[in-house]
Amino acid sequence: MAQRIKSEVPTLAEAQAADSLALRLRLLIGHESVMGFATRCGILEGLMRRYLLGSMPGAEKLKLISDNTGCSVDWLLSGEGPMYVNPEMDPRRAEPDKPKDPNDWVYLPLFDVAAGAGAGTFVEEEETGEEVIGFSRSWIRRTFFTSPEGLKPDLCAGGSR
């Protein structure tokens, strides 16, 4: 029978006190999906799930995790020392995105729509999308794991997929 991976995120104190790489990995993953975290680190999802069940990653995989999260390999292995190699990389210390450079913003049209299926909603007037909403490029990268240039509208002719 397959073992279940605990999904709750431990506290930093719990992760440091425990003699468990799996618990420290769980803290790093946070509320991200295991698949998303594994992909971000360049590790197969099945392998990441084995680490979460107690298997020990090799040096190459530890380096991949460290390089892609900013965490210290020493902390990951033992729970000792600072969690992050560079404290500036610690997402808990991050200030809200406030790019100072106006070129760091991506502006998208803002539409107020009420979608309906079949005879659900009657279109009284169409918006032109003159209003915009701004997102910082770093927020888009962190949230969607892609560059803002890689985003495109998903248009579906003839309804939903």
For residue 109, the enclosing domain spans 102-150
Q: What is the distance between the alpha carbons of residues 39 and 32, in angstroms, rounded to a whole number?
A: 11
Residues 82 and 134 in one domain: no
Query: Is 1 domain-assigned?
Result: no
Residues 119 and 60 in one domain: no
> Residue 71's beta-bridge partner residues?
84
Q: What is the distance between the alpha carbons of residues 76 and 82, in angstroms, rounded to a whole number?
A: 10
pLDDT for 1: 45
Measured in degrees and rounded to the nearest 5, phi and psi for residue 121 equal -135, 140
Q: What is the mean pLDDT of the chain?
A: 76
Q: Does pTM surpass 0.75? A: no
Question: Quick check: helix, strand or coil at residue 7?
Answer: coil
Are the C-beta atoms of 117 and 75 separated by less than 8 Å? no
Residues 113 and 81 in one domain: no
Residues 77 and 106 in one domain: no
Q: What is the mean pLDDT of residues 58-66?
A: 95
Q: pLDDT for 70-105, tens place per residue?
A: 899 999 998 888 888 876 666 665 555 555 677 778
**Which token pair is 101?**
């450079």
